[in-house]
Amino acid sequence: MLRDHVRTPAFRRMVLVLHVLLGLAGTALTAPAQAQPHKPASVARVAGALFTPSRTDEGIAWHAQWVLTPESATEIAEGASLELRFAVPLADGEEVEQKPGVAAIVENGHVTGIVIDRAAGPGRTLSAVVRHRTSLDGSQRYGAPVAAGSALQIIDGDLGAGTRFEVEPGRILEKGVGHVAPPGTSHAAREEARRLTGYTARVTGAAVYVRGEDVRVEGGLAATVVTPRARGHRGAIGIAVVFGAIVLALLAAVRRLRHAAGVERADALLASELDALEGGPR
Whether 199 shows a pLDDT value over 90: the answer reads yes
pLDDT tens digits, one per residue of 56-79: 998 999 999 999 999 999 999 999
Per-residue model confidence (pLDDT) at position 239: 45
On average, the pLDDT of the chain sits at: 80
As a whole number, mean pLDDT of residues 189-216 equals 90
pTM greater than 0.85: no
- Amino acid identity of residue 144, one-letter, is A
How many angstroms separate the Cα of 282 from the Cα of each of 267, 268, 271, 273, 279? 19, 17, 14, 14, 8
Q: Give the span between the Cα atoms of 73 and 75, in whole angstroms.
A: 6
As a whole number, mean pLDDT of residues 100-115 equals 95
Contact 167, 210 (CB under 8 A): no
As a whole number, mean pLDDT of residues 250-276 equals 71
Structural domain boundaries of the chain? 1-32, 42-226, 229-282
Whether 233 shows a pLDDT value over 50: the answer reads no
As a whole number, mean pLDDT of residues 223-251 equals 57
Per-residue model confidence (pLDDT) at position 241: 45
- Provide, rounded to the nearest whole percent, the portion of the chain with pLDDT above 90: 46
Q: Give the span between the Cα atoms of 197 and 185, in whole angstroms.
A: 17
- Provide, rounded to the nearest whole percent, the portion of the chain with pLDDT above 70: 70
